[in-house]
Amino acid sequence: MNKASNSKRPLADNALPQSLGSDINLRLAVENFLYHEAELLDTWCVEEWLALWTEELSYLVPSTDKPDGDPRKDLLMIQDDRFLLHQRVRSIVNGTNWAENPRSTIRRSITNVQAKVVKENAVEAKANFVVYRSQAASLNIFPGHAEYLLETGGPEGFYIRMKRAVLDLEELRPHGRVAFIL
Amino acid sequence: MSELPLIIDDRETPKFWVNRATMVEPKILETERKSIFDKCWLYVGHESELENVHDFRTRRVGGRPVVFVRNSVNNINVLVNVCTHRGMILETRKEGNARKLRCFYHGWTFNTEGDLVTLPGEESYPKGWKRQDRCLPRPPHVDSYRGFWFLCWDKEQSQSLKEYLAGASDYLDLIADQSASMMKVSSGTHYYSMEANWKLLVENSIDGYHALTTHNRYVQMIAASGVDFKKRGGSLTGQAGAPGRGGMDLGNGHAVVGSPDLSHGKIPGNLARDFQNDNERQEYTKYRSELIKKHGEKWTDRILGGRNLLIFPNFIIVDGVGMGCTLRTFYPAKPDYLEITGWEISPPEISEALLPARKTGFLTFWGPAGLATPDDVEALARCQQGFASYQIDPWNDISRGMETEFPGGTDELQMRTFWRHYNELMTGEKAIPESAPYKMFASEVEAS
Ligand code: FES
Ligand SMILES: [Fe+2]
């Protein structure tokens, strides 16, 4: 350990072995991005959230009994393309998504973030999440993990090309529905 | 229990009212379990869910755990999924493949016929004790129709499944005939719930009246996809009924709201997004002409229409054809809480080109995260909350279309059909149908 790492100054890139340093920097950048995404969703800034996506996109939530469900043949719960994701967001904004009108209080924690570069400008990321949703007297907990395909760029560092949010629930009971965005 | 009648079926005014006590009172649910769920044929599962020998699915049917299994000689069995020794649940996985069902408590092991085949220390049982007496029990009646398997818990049930289905069997034909081989249930299941009485979901599943309001965001999505909603035919847009179209009483409490394909192949299902490209259109036309070859044009137009079908008491098929078809069954855990299971079923031969429309069509509407079902979940929960005042105003009103000869999709004949039969089973008062029997319409449709 050299002196620099003991000081209050932020960790410089060169304070760590090259390979380790770049992995950590990538993870920090992805974490930053996922925290930003989480904040937008928890504060219902869903239109700003939409701006985080690439033009061609896929937002997937598999059925609880088939976490590895293939959207081409299996039954998922959500498989939105750009058009449908826009419609989903629109219904939240204009209040026709009745289960979220009035809006529930949602709060999510994002942990266990992992990221790796898969090709130039493309990053695969994974994270665990827990979303707490409360409305009137009820509290439902949605634990799960999400897989992302990210593209580098944009003001937040990345764009989302694919997000697959897998609920760690065997049944959606007593939750009954997912009307907010995971 | 409420002193008031369960329904008011007044043919003079006319009006049809349902007592909200039926949604709230625990005693009524107890009676429903005995007089309805323990008496009627109930849906178990679809044959295509058991592809191979020894494939099984576990589920509760009428509240009781069963295993739906294909045995070693390819027959389908429905066995009570409970060890005959001291009552432990045998198989806890939702699905799998197993030659044997083994109870880990003391090790009793059953085959897929339900025979008790081995147990540790058999020699310690008395002489007269026989393994053969401890086979897994079976529901008294199990039968299938066109791949759909049902059971009945009532030993005294005198109606065969086919008799019980009455006019609904035609509608199962319309679904089964969509495939030249056997319709297939997709992998992936929607297990969800509602904080509502189960009969609210019966009503809601065959209710065209709520479509434009509750499902406003779905309608917005369809409009944004470029479909002129007003030009769309179909059962849910308020179109008047006609023979074979609109809401219909199928007998024994079964009901349907639906319509043949009035566009004769131009539109892929009643409410779906339009064809996205020429390839889709061509593939759909090809599929349709194959159906016509086999079934004729009239029946094909009926196949390719849409329908919301209720098989009394708790089996629903909502079939949008081009936009997919869902099977749904449910059972009340409490007066104000029910558990729902939903599946997707489709013709396995459907062309790759039509799959995306079917997939997104299905999911944008149905399922607990679609652009429609969550709004039903919310609406029904709010009705249930409203019933807290049931002693002040005990009556739900479902009188729409009572003076209409052929009630349309947004009328409520199909719900009255359910409630009349419900009332008959609960109280013994004979139900008097409001409309001519379905068969008459069916023959008119065939003849026209
Ligand atoms: S309870 Fe099953 S072996 Fe004893
Ligand atoms: Fe609905």
Q: Do A127 and A110 contact (CB within 8 A), yes or no?
A: yes
Residue A136 maps to a domain: yes
Q: Which of B188, B189, B371 is opposite residue A88, by nearest beta carbon?
A: B371
Q: Indicate the range of A87-101, A153-167, B136-150, B430-444 predicted with least confidence.
A: B430-444
The DSSP symbol for A1 reads: -
| A145, part of any domain | yes
Q: What is the CATH number of the domain that holds A156?
A: 3.10.450.50
What is the best residue among B108, B110, B116, B117 to mutate for testing ligand 1's pocket, by most ligand atoms within 8 Å of CB?
B108
Q: Could you tell me if residue A172 is inside a domain?
A: no
Give domain status of residue B158, yes or no.
Answer: no
> pLDDT digit string (tens) for B224-234?
888 776 666 54
Q: Residue-wise over B210-244: b if at least 16 C-beta within 10 A, else e?
A: ebeebbbbbbbbbeebebeeeebbbbbbebebbbb
CB contact A135 to B (< 8 Å): no
Boundary (domain end) residue, out of B145, B177, B197: B145
The interface predicted TM-score of the complex, written ipTM, equals 0.93
Neighbours of A182 (CB within 10 A): 22
Task: Choose among A69, A85, A50, A61: nearest CA to A160.
Answer: A50
Give the pLDDT confidence of B333-382 residue by residue, as tens digits: 999 999 999 999 999 988 888 887 788 788 888 899 999 999 999 999 99
Placement of tokens 């974490």 in the chain = A31
Interaxial angle between packed helices B216-224 and B355-365, expressed in degrees from 0 to 180 and rounded to the nearest 10: 150
pLDDT bin (cut points 50, 70, 90) of residue A15 is low
A146 located within any domain: yes
CB of A91 less than 8 A from some CB of B:
yes
- pLDDT of res. A2: 42
Per DSSP bridges, beta strands A53-62 and A158-167 are parallel
Predicted confidence band of residue A22 (pLDDT cuts 50, 70, 90)? confident
- Please state the rounded mean pLDDT for residues A162-180: 97
Closest ligand to Cα B236? 2
Instruction: Give A70 Cα–ligand 2 centroid separation in angstroms.
Output: 26
Residues B201 and B120 in one domain: no
Q: Rg of chain B's alpha carbons, rounded to an integer?
A: 23
State yes or no: pLDDT of B185 exceeds 50. Answer: yes
Q: Is B108 in the pocket of ligand 1 (CB under 6 A)?
A: yes
d(C-alpha B14, C-alpha B407), whole Å: 14
User: What DSSP assignment string belongs to B359-380?
Assistant: HHHHHHHSSTTSSSHHHHHHHH
Nearest CA in chain B to A74: B187
Convert the pLDDT of each residue in B74-125 to its tens digit: 999 999 999 999 999 999 999 999 999 999 999 999 999 999 999 999 999 9
- B288: helix, coil or strand? helix
Has residue B153 been placed in a domain? no
Q: Is residue B387 part of a domain?
A: yes
Which domain, by its residues, includes A132? 3-167
The confidence score (pLDDT) of residue B2 equals 57
Reported as a pLDDT band with limits 50, 70 and 90, residue B448 is: very low
CATH of the domain at B51: 2.102.10.10
Residue A104, number of CB atoms within 10 A of its CB: 18
Residue-range definition of the domain harbouring residue B92? 42-145
Residue B134 sits in the same domain as residue B197: no
Give the A:B interface size as CB pairs under 8 Å.
Answer: 129
- Domain assignment present for A66: yes
With the C-alpha atoms ordered A15, A16, A22, A27, is the resulting torsion angle positive or negative? negative
Domain end position, chosen among B112, B145, B178: B145
- Residue B307 CA, chain-centre distance (Å), reads 12
Any idea of the CA torsion for B391, B410, B304, B325, to the nearest 10 degrees? -30
Residue of A nearest to B326 (CA): A75
The residue in chain A having the minimum alpha-carbon distance to the alpha carbon of residue B362 is: A75
Domain presence at residue A180: no
Confidence of residue B237 (pLDDT cuts 50, 70, 90): very low
Q: How many structural domains is chain B composed of?
A: 2
Two structure tokens written together for B161: 């499944």
Q: How far is it, in rounded angstroms, from Cα B150 to Cα B43? A: 4
- State whether B221 and B366 are in the same domain: yes
- When scoring A46, A63, A74 by the number of chain B Cβ atoms within 10 A, the one with the most, hence best to mutate, is A63
For residue B294, being part of any structural domain is answered with: yes
Determine which helix (DSSP H) or strand (DSSP E) holds A130, and give its type and residue range.
Answer: strand A122-135
* Residue B268 domain-assigned (yes or no): yes
Which residues numbered 19-38 in A keep a CB inside 8 Å of some CB on B? none
How far are the Cα atoms of B235, B292, B299, B433 from residue B260, in angstroms, in the given order? Answer: 9, 14, 9, 24
How many domains does the structure of chain A reveal? 1
Domain assignment present for residue B85? The answer is yes
**Residue B3 in domain:** no
Q: What's the CATH number where B380 sits?
A: 3.90.380.10
Q: Report how far residue B254's alpha carbon sits from residue B235's, in angstroms, rounded to the nearest whole number.
A: 17
Is A76 part of any domain? yes
Expressed in angstroms, the distance from the first to the final Cα of chain A is 42
Q: How far is the CA of B226 from the centre of ligand 2 (A)?
A: 22
Report how far residue B7's alpha carbon sits from residue B21's, in angstroms, rounded to the nearest whole number: 10
Which ligand lies nearest to the CA atom of residue B316 in the structure? 2
Please indicate, yes or no, if residue A175 is contained in any of the structural domains.
Answer: no
pLDDT per position as a tens digit, B285-330: 999 999 999 999 999 999 998 899 999 999 999 998 778 899 999 9
On whether the CB atoms of residues B284 and B356 are closer than 8 A, the answer is no
* The pairing of beta strand A122-135 with beta strand A138-152: antiparallel
Distance (Å, whole) CA A46 – CA B222: 21
Domain-terminating residue out of B86, B114, B145: B145
Residue that is written with structure tokens 């996922």 in the block: A34
